Amino acid sequence: MAKCFVCSKATVFGNNVSHSMRATSRTWKANIRKVRIVDHGVPKTVSVCTRCLRSNKVTRAV
């Protein structure tokens, strides 16, 4: 599932709007990576967005 374990960022839906204002549907997907983290002392593999990884909101397991 394309959803961040930390911030719950997920897929967002919207429209492409052309110059003539015709709308077609599109999606924006979060930049999700599967990483091993330490959660309450237990290592586990979760999906985390790159913004949370960059901001050190999770502790990576070695």
CATH code at 5?
Answer: 2.30.170.40
Q: Give the integer Cα–Cα distance in Å for 31 and 52.
A: 10
Structure confidence by residue, pLDDT tens digits, 6-53 = 999 999 999 999 999 999 999 999 999 999 999 999 999 999 999 999
Q: How confident is the model at residue 1 (pLDDT cuts 50, 70, 90)?
A: confident
Residue type, 16: N
Give the count of domains, the chain: 1
Give the structural domain span for 39.
1-62
